[in-house]
Amino acid sequence: MKKFKIIVGDPTGFCFGVKRALSKTDKILKETIAYSYGELIHNTDEINRLESIGLKKFDTNTPVKSKVILRSHGTIKSENENLSLRYEVEDMVCPFVKKIHKIVNSETKRDIIIIGDKNHPEVKSIISYCNKKPYVLSNLDELKDKIEKFDKKNEFLVVFQTTYNAYLADNMIQYLRDNKINIIVHNTICNATNERQAEARRIAALSDAVVVLGDKLSSNSNKLYNIAKEYCENVYFINRIKMLDISQFYHYNIIGIIAGASTPDWIIKEAIEEMENYNNNEMMEAIESSFTKIRRGDIVKGKVIYVNENDVSVNINYRADGIITRDEITDDENVKTTDLFKPGDIIDVYVMKMDDGDGNVVLSYKRVQALKEWDELEEKFNNEETVTAHITEVVKGGLKCKVGKINAFMPASHVSVQFKKDLSGYPGKDLDVKIIDIDKYKKRLVVSAKLIEEKELEKFKEEFYSSINDGDIVEGIVRRITNFGAFVDIGGIDGLVHITEIAWNRVNKVSDVLSPNDKISVKVLKVDPENDRISLSLKQTMKEPWVDFIENYEVGDILTGKVINLLSFGAFVRLDCGVDGLLHVSQIANEHVEKPSDVLEIGEEVMIKIIGINRDKRKISLSIKELLPKKKEQPKKSKPKAEPRKKKVQPKEPEYVQENFSPSIGEILKNSDLASDEAKELVKDNETEDSNLETAKEAESELTEEKLEDNNAAAETCEVEEEAETCEAEEAKDTEIDEDSDSIEAKEETSEEA
């Protein structure tokens, strides 16, 4: 079995500045305890070693006059000065960094450009030594964004972070010059950095795999890793060799080792020894143990060996290679296999069969992709993330759709917040959905667009309710008519205009006033976000008719109106100004009217006169009779008193008053001896009739007064429901009086004949 070859970069390990800092620190720690102001270098393993022999971290509890070591990357100028006043400072700042401090600190006229990482301790220390605020640029993109702010009349001084990538630095300098920026460049990139970066390119180009030894906090180690990745596909970035499984190197021929400027020699030596001691026996054991134990249904990683139009060969780290046929690569016939893979690609494959008859393991690529999609969807379901569903077909109970390449189902009840009876318009659309049920083993995926709409609607309602207040006048569109009112859309939210708030007059049917899609202005009466209700009013956006009536009309005014209702006791008439008044049956005509419907019709326009206004009760009494010519009054015949039907009046015995009373013919005849029996009987009848006549006149007078009072009361009544029974009773009473009057007239005629 062959053994891999190891090549090590030169130079590698500590640069001059780091070696100097560590060497001086080791000497100090042999004599006393010291405190490091920040990390001395960016290497965790080396810092741990120094702490084990007495190096401590500086903090506010550090005793005064203690030895304080300044880190090699430099410190803020003001911090350095303050430390010198209280502690015994040991300056371990790299000489190349100090040189940059002097350059920028001596510059007082030119603007300064610092090219480097603005968050790195070294760059922060450089900034503190500048006499005015410098431009700090991390890369070429930042330079392109800020170059417009540069005044081309000025001259600029350019310095670099000591560990900056030399290749990128050259590009930025060239860009400045191409844009006519007047610059003076100080190449402050450390020579050790340039050398290590150049060596990293060389080693990576020669190796099958590269091991970069360094701390991930180290700027120069990170740059070496990025450079190696440009020239080699297999790069491992580790602190120490024990973090790496060397057995995976069995199929490499050349292994390159490079190390950052802050990586100690002992870590590099440790790595080389571990890899060189990996002899052939150990390698063979590693190879044998490294073979993957696979079985049908497993998902394993493999490296593409070759690709053709019909199949792909894959090394799956097994005794035999795997093969993927065209059918198990993709279902898309337009996709070429060579477009999907190339030799060296690392892919996941599904083990379908351990032997195809030729010694190859049968693999599938598309099944892995489907399983990955299920895993991704399951993760999105757990995280309540939104996915996109493409609607493909309308089926019984909902919609078929695809989420990626996975078939899914959307129930009809989850298509929208509003129930959609017709789903024929959805196929071909893409909808944002939430996953509501997933079972990757049963291949079941159920989604909902309704949940997305509900969340958006909830957010919309929150914003809407915060922007609307009681009393606002808003525009709306009538969406739905019901028996009790109308629902009006006032900007995405429906509010209710109750039937009592549609008009100032009584509304029997909402559809008599409003229709769907009518555009109206409404007043917000009450906003109730908790119950998601908004009460609206249409009538309160208009002037109240009663107010208009009071301002413009008074008793005695004559105007037109339309009959809107007929009852037994009268008619309700709507005036031109919109208010309703009562036309009592007694005020319809000069002659007696049995029923208003005998004279009037609903919808008929009539001329009427206002005969009464009750401001407190908001009632209006009307009359047609007042506008008619009055008949000439005929002398009324004396009518005897009619007995009320319900209450009998006991006849009073006649009282005779003697004084100042002239004897009547009857008394003369009564007292006359010459009177005949027949004459006496006639006198007796006349006395009775005279008494009845007088009583009838009194009753007629009383009834007439009661009738007038009742008519006035009825004229002031506009509430049909409250007074209908009373009015009907009065109408019956009027009929009774008329009948009694007819009886009295008959008796009066009899009396006159007598």
Strand partners, 559: 608
HSE (side-chain half, CA atoms, 13 Å) at 619:
16
Q: What is the pLDDT of residues 449-465, one digit of tens each?
A: 999 888 888 888 888 88
| pLDDT value for 136 | 93
Per the structure block, which two tokens stand in for 492?
């995405």
Q: What residue has token string 């450079």?
A: 227
Q: What residue has token string 């667009």?
A: 449
DSSP state for residue 138 in the 8-state scheme: -
| pLDDT value for 536 | 93
Q: How much helix, strand and coil, in percent to the nearest 5, is found in the chain?
A: 40, 25, 35
Which positions are annotated as active-site residues? Answer: 122
User: Quick one: average pLDDT of 426-448?
Assistant: 89
Strand partners, 608: 559
User: Quick one: average pLDDT of 403-414?
Assistant: 90
Beta carbons within 8 Å of 494's beta carbon, 6+ residues apart: 479, 480, 487, 488, 534
Q: Measuring CA to CA, how many Å separate 583 from each of 297, 331, 735?
A: 95, 87, 19
Q: What order do you get walking across the sheet with 235-238 strand by strand?
A: 5-8, 254-259, 209-213, 235-238
Q: What is the pLDDT of residues 129-165, one digit of tens each?
A: 999 899 999 999 999 998 888 888 889 999 999 888 8
Residue 42 and residue 218 in contact, taking contact as beta carbons nearer than 8 Å: yes
HSE (side-chain half, CA atoms, 13 Å) at 8:
16
Beta carbons within 8 Å of 137's beta carbon, 6+ residues apart: 113, 114, 115, 143, 146, 172
Query: Cα angle vertex 15, ends 9, 16, to 5°?
Result: 140
* Nearest one of 516, 513, 524, 530 to 471, comparing CA atoms: 524
Question: SS3 letters for 583-599?
Answer: EEHHHCCCCCCCCHHHC
User: Quick one: average pLDDT of 535-541?
Assistant: 90
Q: Measuring CA to CA, how many Å separate 656 from each of 415, 653, 660, 665, 707?
A: 102, 10, 11, 15, 33
Strand partners, 255: 6, 209
Per the structure block, which two tokens stand in for 55?
């190096």
Confidence of residue 689 (pLDDT cuts 50, 70, 90): very low
Q: What is the pLDDT of residues 258-310, one digit of tens each?
A: 888 778 888 888 888 888 776 445 555 555 555 567 778 788 888 888 888 88
CA–CA gap between residue 98 and residue 134 (Å, rounded): 17
Confidence of residue 658 (pLDDT cuts 50, 70, 90): very low
Respond yes or no on whether the N-terminal peptide bond of residue 629 is cis (omega within 30° of 0): no
Strand partners, 536: 497, 524
CA–CA gap between residue 141 and residue 193 (Å, rounded): 23
More confident residue, 694 or 16: 16
| pLDDT value for 727 | 42
Q: What are the backbone angles phi and psi of residue 646, rounded to the nearest 5°?
A: -95, -20
Asked whether residue 221 carries a pLDDT value surpassing 50, the answer given is yes
User: Quick one: average pLDDT of 245-266?
Assistant: 81
| pLDDT value for 694 | 44
Q: What residue has token string 């922060």?
A: 124
Asked whether residue 228 carries a pLDDT value surpassing 80, the answer given is yes
| pLDDT value for 216 | 84
Per the structure block, which two tokens stand in for 65?
């006059």
More confident residue, 403 or 285: 403
| pLDDT value for 535 | 93
Q: What residue has token string 């500590």?
A: 14
Q: What is the pLDDT of residues 585-642, one digit of tens each?
A: 999 998 898 999 988 999 899 999 999 999 888 899 999 988 888 766 555 555 555 4
Residue 586 and residue 735 in contact, taking contact as beta carbons nearer than 8 Å: no
* Nearest one of 484, 442, 492 to 462, comparing CA atoms: 492
Q: Which of the residue ranges 623-637, 645-659, 729-743 has the most confident prediction, judged by mean pLDDT? A: 623-637
User: Quick one: average pLDDT of 362-375?
Assistant: 84
Question: SS3 letters for 693-705?
Answer: HHHHHHHHHHHHH
Asked whether residue 2 carries a pLDDT value surpassing 70, the answer given is no
Confidence of residue 344 (pLDDT cuts 50, 70, 90): confident
Q: What is the pLDDT of residues 458-517, one digit of tens each?
A: 888 888 888 889 889 999 999 999 999 999 999 888 899 999 998 887 888 999 889 999
Confidence of residue 48 (pLDDT cuts 50, 70, 90): confident
DSSP state for residue 415 in the 8-state scheme: S
Residue 580 and residue 572 in contact, taking contact as beta carbons nearer than 8 Å: yes
The β-bridge relationship of strands 605-614 and 519-528 is unpaired
| pLDDT value for 491 | 85
How far does the chain reach from its first CA to its final CA, in angstroms?
Answer: 162
Q: What is the pLDDT of residues 356-368, one digit of tens each?
A: 777 788 888 888 8
CA–CA gap between residue 574 and residue 546 (Å, rounded): 12
Q: What percent of the chain has pLDDT over 70?
A: 81
Residue 239 and residue 213 in contact, taking contact as beta carbons nearer than 8 Å: yes
* Nearest one of 42, 32, 149 to 87, comparing CA atoms: 32
Q: What order do you get walking across the sheet with 111-115 strand by strand?
A: 135-137, 111-115, 155-160, 182-185
Residue 55 and residue 29 in contact, taking contact as beta carbons nearer than 8 Å: yes
CA–CA gap between residue 174 and residue 162 (Å, rounded): 19
Confidence of residue 669 (pLDDT cuts 50, 70, 90): very low
Q: What is the pLDDT of residues 715-727, one digit of tens each?
A: 443 343 344 444 4
Q: What is the pLDDT of residues 70-121, one digit of tens each?
A: 888 888 999 888 998 999 998 888 888 999 999 999 998 899 999 999 898 9
pTM summary value:
0.36
| pLDDT value for 639 | 52
Q: What residue has token string 């970066």?
A: 197
User: Quick one: average pLDDT of 9-37?
Assistant: 83
| pLDDT value for 613 | 92
CA 534 to chain centre: 19
Q: Average per-residue pLDDT in the chain?
A: 79
Per the structure block, which two tokens stand in for 388?
């996109």
Residues present in the chain in total: 754
Q: What is the pLDDT of residues 526-536, one digit of tens each?
A: 988 888 899 99
| pLDDT value for 176 | 92
